Amino acid sequence: MSNEQHRQGDVIMERIDTIPEGLANHPREGGRLILAHGEVTGHAHAITEQQFAHMWTNGKTDTVDEELFLKADVPLKVTHEEHGTIELGMGNWKITRQKEYSAEAIRRVAD
């Protein structure tokens, strides 16, 4: 397994060998694949070259345990209005949101 990783704000992208089985298709929104919505600004971590990408979810939508999996058929750009663009190479990727601990609960980091 490759240890290639990228981080854009609170989103971590890690290259993996294979996509797990039994996942649900992740819906496209307005012509984009959204890796994460920003809670504070309303901006999104997104891929616009969606015709060259396929994305799945583990089904734990909008929880701290949600994981997304991405298959890139070509190198893809991940954009965000407040962060620099990141290029992901072809292959399989696991997408997770950074988490933080507070006395009340474990929660996603707000971006």
Taking only the tens of pLDDT, the chain with its 111 residues reads: 468 999 988 889 999 999 999 999 988 888 889 998 876 667 888 998 878 899 999 887 666 778 899 999 999 999 988 888 999 999 999 999 876 566 665 555 555
Q: Domain spans of the chain?
A: 5-108
Give the CA count within 13 Å in the CB-facing half-sphere of 33. Answer: 23
Q: Which helix (H) or strand (E) holds 76?
A: strand 76-80
- pLDDT at residue number 31: 83
- pLDDT at residue number 40: 67
- pLDDT at residue number 66: 81
Q: pTM (2 decimals)?
A: 0.80
Closest CA to 74 of 56, 87, 65: 87
- pLDDT at residue number 82: 83
- pLDDT at residue number 100: 58
CA of 70: how far to CAs of 7, 23, 31, 82, 93, in Å? Answer: 15, 11, 16, 22, 5
